[in-house]
Chain A
Amino acid sequence: MRILRIIPILALLVVATTFNINAQCKAFAKKVCIPELGAYTHDGNYHAAILVEGEEAELYKTFYSDMDYRVSICGEDKLPDVEFRVLDANKNVLYSNKDANFAKTWDFKLQSSQQLKLIVKVNSFNKPGETPASGCVAIMFGFKIKK
């Protein structure tokens, strides 16, 4: 019977913890990732998730020829480097931040509008026997009208 009383309390704790993690992720995106956009206007969209070492996230977005873009990809400090690649519709890699010392931002513009795919991957600390690290990873876009 005592155990039956514990279940709702545990469930509430889990809900509270999960929402707290989500709130932390939003706060992280706001405090760390958006400032990386610098002079670019944040588009207002929110793409963030809790990822574990080795895990990937994919994002599909149309980019327009009239804009200059900055993409900012941030992972919490407790995570290893976050790798991101930008691919075209034929899966050709157009950019990888691995070639730029895992840079957190990339500035680009397009001659013609395109739908591109971003693949974000949290690298691994490669520490066998230890619990893999997990944390918030945010993908934010900023734009400017091309001068």
Chain B
Amino acid sequence: MNKKYGICSKILVVVLMFTSLLMGCKSGGTKTTKEEVKVSIPKENATVVEDIQQAEKIFNALPSPLESAMLIKSAGARFDESLLNPIGNVNSYVTNKSMALNLGIYTCDLSFASLYEQTQLIIDYMNAAKKMADGLGILKAIEQSQIDKLEENINNSEVIMEIVSETFMNSNSYLSDNGQPAIAAMVLVGGWFEGLYISTQLVDLKEFNGNKLVGRIIDQKLSIDILLNLLESSKGNPAVDDLIFQVKKLKVVFDKISITTSKIRPEFDKVSNMTVLKSEVKTDMTPEVFRELSVTVSEIRKTFVNN
């Protein structure tokens, strides 16, 4: 009896450890060992709680492809179809890495086309993104019903953005919830690079000083460490290790840009009914550094889209 009880206890411990491992894998977060729970816990629940406590999360949030495209548009940039990854490339992506990166890239292109009301391109790029999501085995990321809804509302930008946002969330939540944080990170990396590539290509060097788009590109320096931390949490995966190497090359160039910020002062604005985080910022990027940045981004992006 005692022997059986012992075996059962061991199985229970294994099962609980397995559960906590799965819980810890979700959401692309990083496991930490910090423990802050101060509530009193009954002895019999102590092991379970101890495991769950270790599932504390750190999220490294990159701008989504939709946000990246929105930033380009808000800077007053023009639309240029030739900068997008041609949908003809879609069949050449067969590895998980290339499909993940290009899911991010095509979603960014789709968002870019949506914001500039490029109706036919919206459908084409949604189908390209669907092909990548399907290839990665992401169930129900982009359903035919959503493509139909997109076609029915092709002139309604609000509905289109809603669909783009929803389909992207379906993909990244599926990957996070199914223990694929490395793939989820690669999707975000693809989208972020595409936004940066399009931005750098749209800058006219004759209008460099005071160019709003240049300001947006400088802002991306603030995300480079977030990007690295996101990838570092899946370190050891060969595809991710390659990306870390490439991002570190880009960081070397970003490190040549200086950003100095004053202390942030939160002030409530009664007119807009929101808090304004006031601060002054000084940035410095020479046209030479911009050229170097542009070339580096372009080279890295080439390795993503040319497979």
A interface, CB within 8 angstroms of B: 3, 6-7, 10-11, 14-15, 17-19, 21-23, 25-26, 29-30, 41-62, 64-68, 88-90, 92, 94-95, 106-115, 124-132, 134, 139, 141, 143, 145-146
Please give me the residue from chain A that is nearest to B58 by CB atom: A58
Q: A14-B19, A41-B70 are in contact. List 19 more A-B contacts (CB 8 A).
A: A3-B7, A10-B11, A26-B177, A41-B161, A44-B166, A45-B169, A46-B172, A46-B176, A49-B29, A55-B36, A56-B56, A57-B59, A62-B222, A95-B275, A109-B274, A111-B278, A111-B279, A114-B264, A143-B70
Q: Is B206 an interface residue (CB 8 A)?
A: no
Q: For B168, what are the chain A residues with a Cβ–Cβ distance below 8 Å?
A: 44-45
Whole-angstrom distance between the Cβ of B6 and the nearest chain A Cβ:
11
- Distance A41 CA – B163 CA, assembled complex (angstroms): 11
- B91, CB-defined interface residue at 8 Å: no
Among candidates A49, A64, A89, A131, residue contacting B71 with C-beta atoms closer than 8 Å: A64
Question: Could you say which of A43, A58, A95, A139 contacts B67, with CB atoms under 8 Å apart?
Answer: A43
Residue of A nearest to B282 (CB): A112
Within 8 Å by CB of B272, from A51, A53, A109, lies: A109
Q: Is B82 an interface residue (CB 8 A)?
A: no
Q: How far is the CB of B208 from chain A (nearest CB, A)?
A: 19
CB-contacts of B166-210 with A (<8 A): 166-169, 172-173, 176-178, 188
Give the number of chain B interface residues (Cβ < 8 Å): 80
The residue from A55, A60, A95, A145 contacting B37, defined by CB atoms under 8 A apart: A55
Contact B59 A88 (CB under 8 A): no
| Contact A61–B61 (Cβ < 8 Å) | yes
Residues of A within 8 A of B243 (CB): none
Q: Distance in Å from the Cβ of A49 to the closest Cβ of chain B?
A: 4
In the bound assembly, the distance between CA atoms of A54 and B40 in angstroms comes to 11
